[in-house]
A and B are shown apart, each in its own frame.
Chain A
Amino acid sequence: MPSEWIARHDQTVALKGEWTLANYRHIKTALIHTELINTEPGKPTGATVSLDAITRLDTAGAILIVELIGVEKAQAVADWAAELPREQQALLIRIAEAMEAPLDVDPPTYSRISQALASVGQQMVGLWSQQRQLLAFIGLVMATLFHLALRPRHWRLTATVAHIQQSGLNAVPIVALLTFMVGAVVAFLGATVLQDFGATIYTIDLVAFSFLREFGVLLAAILLAGRTASAFTAQIGAMRSNEEIDALQAQGLDPIELLVLPRVMAMLISLPMLAFVGMLSGLAGGAMVTSLSLDISLTQFMATLQKDVSVTHFLVGLSKAPVFAFVIAVIGCLEGFKVSGSAQSVGEHTTSSVVQSIFMVILIDAVAALFFMEMGW
């Protein structure tokens, strides 16, 4: 079969033309067609091969030639193809050296059942060690916190204020807008349901109770979990892959003190304030809906609030804020410390930090709701 690259006459094979990467596919097809190489590699041809007519050769072409004639013959290329330019001989010899050792390494394979079992086991072990790490890290942060509480020289005020601005102040617009809209939605919902009972006035109580006790703080916490926990993880993760954390430790500086505490403190200060903002704008959203669609005046709204809703509900709601703040900040920082080098790892841990912190916030909120109900607060 005539070809651009191979001419075969019985037991002699003349290679010709450009044996380059661009032609790799075609040459390989031609080689397989002429049955010079099998699909199973490692069997050099017995035919006499001449290389004189090759006009260009690059590594890809050289690899094919070495496969065709075998490593030993390629290494002795000077003996049988003296006409070949010196450089191309050198290339063939280098490639042959590189291909001398077996190159295929197959990853170990296991049966599907044991793979499935192994993956379940891995997940469980991972989950368990994740919880232990979280607890240990909380302990570490607490210990450092108490240790430094009496040493004002070690308070990182500038860093803390910077983080308060980033994660607190800059989040005010989004928290206010979101809770305002949810407040309006809750009011609409209440109005629709309570209208059947002629009790639309209780819409006010519904909005007030839900926002003071739950939604204000919960929505703020979930927003910060998405917005700030991810930022903490990415910041610390990037430092980690840049070996900055190691540099801190090697200099005898405490990364917990320098990186984690300012973030934790900033969250402890920001989240209660944001929760308060959330409560207010939730109430404002409710007030807007009740005054526009239920003909309840603002004055009446305020009067009902004062009469029906005690300050306990506000305190119950606000008391959860520091807990959420601590959990979000600690998870965000811990996931950052777990980052290992690669860009993919930064992504994985950022995702994990958001998922974990939202999960923990909702879990704690549920437990707290039970607790407060039993206490009758």
Chain B
Amino acid sequence: MIDSDKPTEQNNQPVIKVRGLVNRFGTHVVHENLDLTLERGEILGVVGGSGTGKSVLLRSIVGLKRPNDGTVEVLGTTLNELDDAQRSQIERRFGVLFQRGALFSSLNLQENIALPLIEHARLTREDAEHLARVKLSLVGLPPQAALQFPESLSGGMVKRAALARALALDPEILFLDEPTAGLDPIGAAAFDQLLVTLRDALGFSVFLVTHDLDTLYAACDRVAVLSQKRVLVVDTIDKVADTDDEWVQDYFHGPRGRAAQLAHTASSTNAYTQE
């Protein structure tokens, strides 16, 4: 799905380069010598059983957790070596969607999304709130939601609003931690489609932690499987599904995996015949 004639960026350096990452909590080792690369413009799905450290990996990349060993290069720099101002410069080029949304509970949705626009892009409040309303509509929220506070929203609406906030600054890298968990299937499918449309249009790269097989088939260019404290395999989904590993086989060829695969092939042949 990666377009060769992408107009956006000049260099073909990977946007994220993780080498030899080690993460420990006390004596419990989560990652051991983990290597991972996120290429520019791709959507990388990261899967793995519960407790294999998907979220920990995400937190180490965005700099919320200092790794015990190894290097994490983001956009060509190592975050932990930068001073605060430089780091903030890099960090505003990320968008992060946290697992539970993490919207600011004392601000309404419109203000939640306008905040980074005012702080980083230095827009006036009026402009920022206008952009915020468009982005809320873009992720499929009704206009009335703009003035609501996060506590009065359903889980799915929180997810959408959090995506709108992650997209607020038109980031170069989007980190999504289980974005479709808690969405209904229709909403989840719309989310996948939205993600691909925006990626094609804006050319950002996506680091997507998920359990959702449909998302993997519909949106991801490559899939990385976390297992045995490292990245077991990273490749296109068909090749990953053929990996000779018990967990991978169970995951992709269990009843849900087969259903998702079937749905995917059905929808792509449909699209083909329509064209």
Contact = CB atoms under 8 A, between A and B. Distances in A.
Interface in B90-119: 105-106, 117
A141 interface: no
Nearest to A54: B7
A343 B106 contact: yes
Nearest to B106: A344
A85 B201 CA distance: 9
Contacts of B106: 342-344
* Count class of interface residues, chain A: 35 or more
Contact of A98 (B137, B200, B201): B137
B131 A105 contact: no
A59 B170 contact: yes
Contacts of A87: 3, 6-7, 200-201, 203
A33 to B, nearest CB: 16
A91 interface: yes
A340 interface: yes
B121 interface: yes
Contacts of A25: 122-124, 127
Interface in B138-155: 138, 143-144, 146-147, 149-151
B169 A94 contact: no
A22 B134 CA distance: 17
B89 to A, nearest CB: 13
Contacts, number: 98
B4 to A, nearest CB: 12
A55 interface: yes
A2 interface: no
A22 B198 CA distance: 18
* Count class of interface residues, chain B: 35 or more
A342 B203 contact: no
Contacts of A88: 7, 201
Contacts of B202: 58-59, 91
A286 B135 CA distance: 68
**Chain A interface mostly:** helix
Given A28-B127, A59-B170, A344-B106, A107 B135 contact: no
A139 interface: no
Most-contacted residue by chain B among A24, A59, A94, A340 (CB, 10 A): A59
A198 interface: no
A124 interface: no
Given A87-B3, A95-B134, A103-B137, A342 B150 contact: yes
Interface string A180-194: 000000000000000
B137 A90 contact: no
A21 interface: yes
Contacts of B203: 87
A344 B108 CA distance: 12
A56 B121 CA distance: 17
B112 to A, nearest CB: 12
A40 interface: no
B137 A101 contact: yes
Interface string B35-67: 000000000000000000000000000000000
A309 interface: no
Given A21-B169, A87-B201, A94 B127 contact: no
B226 to A, nearest CB: 27
A173 interface: no
B134 A103 contact: yes
Interface of A: 20-22, 24-25, 28, 55-60, 62-63, 85-88, 90-91, 94-95, 98-99, 101-105, 107, 340-345
Interface of B: 3, 5-8, 105-106, 117, 121-124, 127, 130-131, 133-135, 137-138, 143-144, 146-147, 149-151, 167, 169-170, 194, 197-198, 200-203
9 contacts: A24-B131, A56-B8, A59-B135, A59-B170, A62-B201, A63-B130, A91-B201, A94-B201, A103-B130
